[in-house]
Amino acid sequence: MTTIMGLELSGRLAVLVGGGDVAGRRLRRLLEGGAQVRLVAPDLAEGTAELAAHHHVEWVRDRFRPAHLEGAWLAHTATGDRTADAAVVAACDAARIWCVNAGSGAHGSARFTAETRSDDVQIGVVSASGVDPRRSGRLRDAIAARLREGTLPVRRVREGAGSVHLVGGGPGPEDLITVRGRRLIAEADVIVHDRLGPTGVLTELEPGVEVIDVGKAPGRHTMTQEQIGRVLVDRARAGARVVRLKGGDPFVYGRGGEEVAACLKAGVPIEVVPGISSVIAVPQAAGIPVTHRGVAGAVHVVNGQDEVTAATVSALNDAATTVIVIMGVSAIGRFTAAALKSGTDPRRPVAFIENGHSPAQRTIRTTLGEAADDAARHALRNPSVIVIGEVARADLLLPVSDLALERA
């Protein structure tokens, strides 16, 4: 019967016998565990030699003798020769040193597990009776997949130092958040979230997770930006792992920089996890590439709540530049008026994508000269992304053979 336990190898001597590729892989694992390694082999494979040299491993250029075990806490034999491996195991048994036998796991006194890691959690799988590495590997892979999806209870129970993770949640659907973002949400003690983004993941949280809604909407600001920063700092200082969940990417009109600055000023560790920005993802959901070879090679992004600057007018006048306006439905009249006044072609294509990446998504295509009237006629609302430029043409991606049908 096999018993699983964690070994603290940091700074302790482990003897590895063998110099081939298998020994090289086991050498890497021992080094990752912090072991001080004595490598015993007459010759080394190229990769094993490079790894040993890089980490200043003690190399005994000789065939194994029991004296090589002196001072060892653990031994590992990977010679590729069953007789030689058996001799190492026998010497270890006599010296009462645990020994892993790479060639025959059943004939060693210790075994490595099929291992996976998730942040500070290390998980190993091993068969309790008999050696079955394929079964252990399949179970390990299944657990690793669940960890990546954030569907296992991995929240820290014992108190530790608090931290903040600023996670970009993407344009809305839960399956468009990054693997790292999903895992951090599963590990969090506190979630501070906005109105937009993958709020569906909040239904999957463990009981006891504190969820704080700080979403802003026209006429409704639950908290000021300064108050949000204080919440992040206070919860982290209390020892919580805080996830600040935002829609899109935190650093693209997400005010993420202000929240990072607040945490750094308070001495609170913070990590930023990027997300898929709606600037690119929402047009993509409508079949619109923001750049297209031979059509548009530059992108100008602007917040619809801002004033129309000279740089934006210049971009609107450049046929090779795509202009993206986010949250700008109510301001489209200002943009079109400024563009038309400067001489922009009123026939320039425009696309409104409302509620992108959701069941309520709709796309309205028009022109610069008609955009303001069409927005009112279709009662368009935010959240919307407006694409202005040749890439917004409805026939841009159609095969030539389909153009006649499209225009018929």
Last residue of a domain, one of 222, 251, 273: 273
Q: Please indicate, yes or no, whether residues 259 and 294 belong to a single structural domain of this protein.
A: no
pLDDT of 294 strictly over 60: yes
Residues constituting the chain: 408
Give the domain CATH number at 333: 3.30.950.10
Q: Please indicate, yes or no, whether residues 17 and 107 belong to a single structural domain of this protein.
A: yes
Instruction: Name the domain count of the chain.
Output: 3
Q: Which phi and psi angles does 168 have, rounded to 5°?
A: -80, 120
Cα angle at 266 between 169 and 261, to 5 degrees? 50
Mean pLDDT of the region 125-153: 78
Give a yes or no: residue 124 inside a domain.
Answer: no
- Band the pLDDT of 215: cuts 50, 70, 90: confident
Give a yes or no: residue 331 inside a domain.
Answer: yes
Residue 33 · residue 12 · CB < 8 Å: no
Task: Give the pLDDT score at 233.
Answer: 96
Residue 245 · residue 197 · CB < 8 Å: yes
Task: Give the pLDDT score at 126.
Answer: 79
Lowest mean pLDDT among 2-11, 262-271, 374-383: 2-11
Lowest mean pLDDT among 15-19, 99-103, 239-243: 99-103
pLDDT of 155 strictly over 90: no
Residue 310 · residue 338 · CB < 8 Å: no
Q: Please indicate, yes or no, whether residues 219 and 238 belong to a single structural domain of this protein.
A: yes
Give a yes or no: residue 398 inside a domain.
Answer: no
Mean pLDDT of the region 258-268: 96
- Band the pLDDT of 103: cuts 50, 70, 90: confident
Supply the range of the domain harboring residue 22: 13-112
Task: Give the pLDDT score at 338.
Answer: 94
Task: Give the pLDDT score at 408.
Answer: 40
Q: Pick the more confident residue, 150 or 81.
A: 81
In whole angstroms, give the CA distance from residue 255 to residue 274.
Answer: 13
Task: Give the pLDDT score at 260.
Answer: 97
Q: Please indicate, yes or no, whether residues 265 and 284 belong to a single structural domain of this protein.
A: no
Instruction: Give buried/exposed letters for 274-302 (b at 16+ CB in 10 A, else e).
Output: bbbbbbbbbbbbbebbbebeeebeebbbb
Q: Please indicate, yes or no, whether residues 267 and 312 belong to a single structural domain of this protein.
A: no
Cα angle at 206 between 202 and 211, to 5 degrees? 45
**Pick from 274, 276, 188: which is nearest to 239 by CA?**
188
Q: Pick the more confident residue, 303 or 3.
A: 303
Last residue of a domain, one of 96, 112, 128: 112
Mean pLDDT of the region 180-191: 92
pLDDT of 150 strictly over 80: no
Task: Give the pLDDT score at 404.
Answer: 43
Q: Please indicate, yes or no, whether residues 284 and 240 belong to a single structural domain of this protein.
A: no
- Band the pLDDT of 399: cuts 50, 70, 90: low
* Three-state SS letters, 287-328: CCCCCECCCECEEEEEECCCCCCHHHHHHHCCCCEEEEEECC
Residue 336 · residue 312 · CB < 8 Å: no
pLDDT tens digits, 306-342: 999 999 999 999 999 999 999 999 999 999 999 999 9
Question: Which tokens hold the place of 203?
Answer: 């239904």
Amino acid letter at 227?
Q
Question: From the CB of residue 402, how many other CB atoms can be counted at a distance below 10 Å?
Answer: 11
Give the domain CATH number at 175: 3.40.1010.10
Catalytic residue (choose from 85, 189, 194, 249): 194
- Band the pLDDT of 407: cuts 50, 70, 90: very low
Q: Please indicate, yes or no, whether residues 200 and 252 belong to a single structural domain of this protein.
A: yes
Give a yes or no: residue 386 inside a domain.
Answer: yes
Residue 243 · residue 165 · CB < 8 Å: yes
Q: Pick the more confident residue, 89 or 155.
A: 89
Share of the chain above pLDDT 90, in %: 71
pLDDT of 125 strictly over 90: no
Q: Please indicate, yes or no, whether residues 219 and 292 belong to a single structural domain of this protein.
A: no
Q: Please indicate, yes or no, whether residues 106 and 74 belong to a single structural domain of this protein.
A: yes
Mean pLDDT of the region 250-265: 95
Give a yes or no: residue 122 inside a domain.
Answer: no
Give a yes or no: residue 119 inside a domain.
Answer: no
Q: Is 407 exposed, middle or buried (0-12, 13-18, 19+ CB in 10 A)?
A: exposed
Is residue 249 among the annotated active site residues? no
Mean pLDDT of the region 166-184: 92
Q: Please indicate, yes or no, whether residues 302 and 367 belong to a single structural domain of this protein.
A: yes
Residue 326 · residue 354 · CB < 8 Å: no
In whole angstroms, give the CA distance from residue 70 to residue 55.
Answer: 21
Q: Please indicate, yes or no, whether residues 169 and 267 belong to a single structural domain of this protein.
A: yes
Is the dihedral angle over the CA atoms 279, 280, 281, 287 positive or is it negative? positive
Give the domain CATH number at 20: 3.40.50.720
Q: Please indicate, yes or no, whether residues 225 and 304 belong to a single structural domain of this protein.
A: no
pLDDT of 149 strictly over 80: no
Give a yes or no: residue 85 inside a domain.
Answer: yes
Give a yes or no: residue 106 inside a domain.
Answer: yes
Catalytic residue (choose from 21, 62, 93, 216): 216
Report for 147-151, 354-358, 396-400: range of highest mean pLDDT = 354-358
